[in-house]
Amino acid sequence: MGLGGCILLIGAGAILTFATDWEVESVNLDMVGLIMMAVGIIGVATFTSIARRRRAVVPPVAATITDEGRSTGYPR
């Protein structure tokens, strides 16, 4: 589930919890909405932590100057 799916879960859960007054005999829709919002928030947190690890910045390798004055370290 990507970031869009998590945001969709949060939105649908908020609609079920706060914007509807439906009564279903054996299901508490307010609780279902709260669970959906919690799962969505956990998903967003997980997705952002994984995405942050994938974008780790690696510093570039510095060029080495030799006695002859040529720069090495970068392929030509």
10-62 pLDDT, tens per residue? 999 999 999 998 888 999 999 999 999 999 999 999 998 888 777 666 677 76
* Pairing state between β 64-65 and 71-72: antiparallel
CA distance 3 to 70: 48
CA distance 15 to 37: 10
CA distance 10 to 14: 6
Q: Is the pLDDT of residue 3 over 80?
A: yes
CA distance 17 to 35: 10
Give the start-to-end residue ranges of the domains of the chain.
Answer: 3-54
- What pLDDT is attached to residue 74? 55
Q: Do 60 and 33 meet the contact criterion of CB atoms below 8 Å apart?
A: no
